[in-house]
Amino acid sequence: MAKASSGRKLTKKDYEARVPAVREALIQLQIKLQAAPFPVLLVIAGDDASGKGDVVNLLNGWLDPRGVETFAFHDPTDEERERPPMWRYWRSLPPHGRMAIYAGGWHGDALAADPRTPRELAEFDSTLARLTHFEGLLADGGALLVKIWLRLGADAQRDRLHELEGDPDTAWRVSPEDWKFHRDYVRRAALGARLRRATELAAAPWHLVEAADPRARNLAIADALLARFKQHLRRHAARPAPRKPRRITPLRPVGLRMLQAVPLDQTLGESDYAEKRAKWLGRLNRAVRDAAQHGRSIVWVFEGWDAAGKGGAIRRLTSAIDARDCRVIPVAKPTDEEKSHHYLWRFWRHIPRAGRVTIYDRSWYGRVLVERIEGFCRPEEWRRAFEELNDFEAQLTAHGIIVIKFWLHLSPAEQLRRFREREKTAYKRHKINAEDWRNRRQWAAYETAAGDMLALTHRPAAPWHLVAAENKRFARLEILRASCKAIADALERE
Amino acid sequence: MAKASSGRKLTKKDYEARVPAVREALIQLQIKLQAAPFPVLLVIAGDDASGKGDVVNLLNGWLDPRGVETFAFHDPTDEERERPPMWRYWRSLPPHGRMAIYAGGWHGDALAADPRTPRELAEFDSTLARLTHFEGLLADGGALLVKIWLRLGADAQRDRLHELEGDPDTAWRVSPEDWKFHRDYVRRAALGARLRRATELAAAPWHLVEAADPRARNLAIADALLARFKQHLRRHAARPAPRKPRRITPLRPVGLRMLQAVPLDQTLGESDYAEKRAKWLGRLNRAVRDAAQHGRSIVWVFEGWDAAGKGGAIRRLTSAIDARDCRVIPVAKPTDEEKSHHYLWRFWRHIPRAGRVTIYDRSWYGRVLVERIEGFCRPEEWRRAFEELNDFEAQLTAHGIIVIKFWLHLSPAEQLRRFREREKTAYKRHKINAEDWRNRRQWAAYETAAGDMLALTHRPAAPWHLVAAENKRFARLEILRASCKAIADALERE
């Protein structure tokens, strides 16, 4: 934890002598940060009535407001309530080069809940663990997080409440709850300390700032910001660009073996397929409606070799689902807005509302497949991603979302046959391009990466279904069947 | 109105003989549309129980679902309710190259309200007028709108409801309201006809399709889609790219005269300013809080010459507003997501929730300023924009949003002085670039365009405030004063 500011009083004269230089330095750094390939997240949290709002407004005045957005999380809206709790923080994240100020941070909700019983405190701790994970994820993604904690002693708190009440312009800011919390100062301060301990991170430490004297407080905050801004710019400049690796070596050979053990000789005759398909489509339709009636959303993930039949399988699936409740998200090159956010942001964007369906045609697993192989991210980044992806899905499933993941498997020979067929058929020609052929030449690399992915992200709550896709009919039916089962199992466990 | 399909019955054999070719043609055109610089909006509306959901699902099966998103508008969420009614349609709009299918269209809400009294019918008509305007706007923006109306006779409706009820898989789709509407068939059908008449547009006509026989219905819809897809692709290919105009001639010379009549010799002394500023900042703070308490949002628009002091004025303004309720949106080059939408989309995105504030640093008026002058849009586009912008703002003000627009005016000599000063001062140098100098050389063009803008978009509910910005202190105070007055006036009119 960063050292607390001294808490000495500052004369108005001393303060005003220092402010212009501080403001200019801040603006200068803000300009530099605007060109930086990372966002800046500024958390202004603190003890009750410690002046968080004043600080937020001060910083908005000192900084160029065109590059800053301020967020305060009040009661979640219904669109937010229907998604995992972290969704509303994810959607607030600024792109590279911009700054967000979080009044109360994402920590405010946890403190407002005012936990007391052992059970409430356990929930408080688990919320904090989730927030810590979130901050770690953002910091690992390159974001600069500056977390300020405004500390206010009991006497200073009482004085401040009186002062606010005394001015007709600010009296409205003092509520009966403020006085209630003041009478309970020791317990509330301990809660704050518990929060700071739980959410302390090397990459995102708390800066403790004495808040009793606003002038000293302001300068202490400015000093912390300036130091962190400079440090982060320096560190980032020193960071080498990622490079394409020469070789892809397996982390978990068992995954590769799983993949190679998929029996590709399974087939299904035309008439057999037609009959079974009708039955399973009907079942799937009922299963999806059942899930919706229980307020459960479904997220399908389709990964697999080029030409393995993802598109066709998705088309069969959607034919059984009411299109009004279903979105298909084709995951290709990110848009520039997506590129200037954490790599998971573009997937959080499309998480369905309660009772709806999102089908991802390729997904967040691109991080450990194409990005690993082509060197679009650094080795430590894709290595870390396995755990990040597991955690992301754990958040979905914890919220009741049913996650169904398919890997469509294929032999190189069958892929070649399909590529050639596509090239011959006029209306399929758009489905094949130079990139497909390039990926094909890297078959072994993709196989290794896919093997690691399967081994490291196969979890009970979000298991992988390996589908033999050598025969399209067999694969499509298998997908219908596995989907029905996954939904039924999830509803049964309720 | 496009001719209704014949309504003949089609045998299964005839149908199945035609379907494969139709589907292939649709997929082929969908591929072409993916590369087209416009979105496709497909409205599937119709009489009660006419099978809109079935058609939506059919089309999702026929088309590649990866390029299609389906929307059905149910009860607005609270985030939607806090914005003008059209906001939720705007946020659903797909980018260029993608397709959205609207189950029930934006017309569904109007029909669901089931207006009966003269007063309800008048409101129905005014909703329809708003929808028609919306469709016209999108069509003018290049979007392809295909509107299908499924027509179902009274007897066929009764048969269909019985049929749905007879099958345990579909019985849930029939509600008591369906039967109530059936008994009231004549009135409901007339309501549909009234809706179609009111929302009929040359660029977005209704395609009437007999829905009694699903096979004939499906082919009639496919035919309509194929014809419209082809026609729109052809028309769009023939469209010349916009070009930079050689000369900017005024449409309304009165605007230019207004601009030139702004007395630029007004000044304000330092101490006078300091004293008055404190007073007006306090008033503004109270005015914004007052507005929030009444659930009124505020939208500020800042336009004016480069270096006229927009940034500084905005900084003064935000210093009086709680940063947690306020966003500043700097409007520069659009992101690629923004570029692939209607030009107003990027502004609709940021419309504040109830009681919040958005400040646009430059705005939608770029359409009739830089885009007109640089030829980023066609002459008919910027000419049309005056009315489009007025309508956009009228929607905001009709929803209770307070719109405050400033033009910061300056002499060329003072601009030059400020440019030179910026070049000399290290921490201001980032604020000036080659584009600023190029814009300056086009002073007369900008003056003419700004004059037209002032003359054509000055409306009682969203008036322009012309601010003499030759003296920064004078301008800043003027902005505070005019803002306070605008808010007070708006609240008084409540």
Same domain for A86 and A136: yes
- CA distance readout (Å), A33 to A137, A140, A236, A366, B487: 20, 18, 11, 29, 35
Band (B319; pLDDT cuts 50, 70, 90): confident
Same domain for A269 and A205: no
Three-state DSSP class for residue A330: strand
> Residues A223-241: what's their mean pLDDT?
91
* Least CB–CB distance from A79: residue in B77, B319, B323: B77
Residue B108: inside a domain: yes
Report helix angle B472-492 to B270-293, nearest 10: 30
The lowest-confidence range among A382-391, A449-458, B211-220, B309-318 is: B309-318
Which residue stretches of A74-184 are H helix?
78-81, 87-90, 108-112, 118-140, 154-166, 176-183
Across the interface, whether the CB atoms of A68 and B28 are under 8 A apart is answered: no
Strand partners, A330: A361
Percent of chain A past pLDDT 70, that is, above it, reads 98
Across the interface, whether the CB atoms of A427 and B323 are under 8 A apart is answered: no
**Is pLDDT of A1 > 70?**
no
User: How many CB atoms neighbour CB B356 within 10 A?
Assistant: 22
Residue B246: inside a domain: no
Cα distance between residue B43 and residue A72, in whole Å: 38
Same domain for A276 and A186: no
Please, are residues B40 and B143 in contact by the beta-carbon 8 Å criterion?
yes
Domain hosting residue A25, numbered range: 12-237
Q: Which helix (H) or strand (E) holds A71?
A: strand A68-71
Domain boundary among B181, B212, B237: B237
Same domain for B266 and B133: no
> Residues B398-417: what's their mean pLDDT?
97
Residue B5: inside a domain: no
Report helix angle B185-198 to B118-140, nearest 10: 40
Across the interface, whether the CB atoms of A103 and B323 are under 8 A apart is answered: yes
Same domain for A258 and A233: no
Measured between beta carbons, which residues in chain A are less than 8 angstroms from residue B430?
Answer: 31
Same domain for A262 and A233: no
Cα distance between residue A188 and residue A181, in whole Å: 7
Same domain for A318 and A187: no
pLDDT at B427: 66
Band (A440; pLDDT cuts 50, 70, 90): very high
Strand partners, B210: B151
Same domain for A184 and A148: yes
The one-letter amino acid at B357: V
Cα distance between residue A466 and residue B326, in whole Å: 49
Cα distance between residue B13 and residue A378, in whole Å: 58
* Least CB–CB distance from B324: residue in A28, A53, A430: A53
Strand order, beta sheet including A144-151: A206-210, A144-151, A40-46, A99-103, A68-71, B326-330, B357-361, B298-304, B402-409, B464-468
- Structure pTM? 0.88
**Is pLDDT of B494 > 80?**
no
* Least CB–CB distance from B314: residue in A65, A72, A326: A65
- CATH number, domain of A115, equals 3.40.50.300
Let me know if A194 is exposed, middle or buried by CB neighbors in 10 A (0-12, 13-18, 19+).
middle
Residue B247: inside a domain: no
pLDDT at B431: 76
Question: For residue A253, what are the contacts with CB-CB under 8 A and spacing of at least 6?
Answer: A451
pLDDT at A61: 85
pLDDT tens sequence across A397-416: 999 999 999 999 999 999 99
Please, are residues B314 and A51 in contact by the beta-carbon 8 Å criterion?
no
Residue B467: inside a domain: yes
Domain boundary among B195, B211, B237: B237
φ and ψ at residue A134, rounded to 5 degrees: -60, -45
The one-letter amino acid at A248: I
Band (A7; pLDDT cuts 50, 70, 90): low
Among B28, B63, B66, most A C-beta atoms within 10 A, so best to mutate, is B66
Same domain for A278 and A223: no
Question: For residue A485, what are the contacts with CB-CB under 8 A and spacing of at least 6?
Answer: none
pLDDT at A6: 54
Same domain for A267 and A293: yes
Measured between beta carbons, which residues in chain B are less than 8 angstroms from residue A78?
Answer: 77-79
The total of structural domains in chain B comes to 2
pLDDT tens sequence across B125-165: 999 999 999 999 999 999 999 999 999 999 999 999 999 99
Residue A7: inside a domain: no
Query: How far from the centroid of its chain's Cα atoms is residue A27's Cα?
Result: 29
Across the interface, whether the CB atoms of A31 and B337 are under 8 A apart is answered: no
pLDDT at A5: 53
Retrieve residue A278's tokens: 């009708």
Residue B248: inside a domain: no
Same domain for B113 and B21: yes
Strand partners, A101: A42, A70
Domain boundary among B237, B263, B286: B237
Across the interface, whether the CB atoms of B322 and A53 are under 8 A apart is answered: yes
For the complex shown, is ipTM > 0.85?
Answer: no
Same domain for B415 and B478: yes
Residue B2: inside a domain: no
pLDDT tens sequence across B4-19: 555 568 899 999 999 9
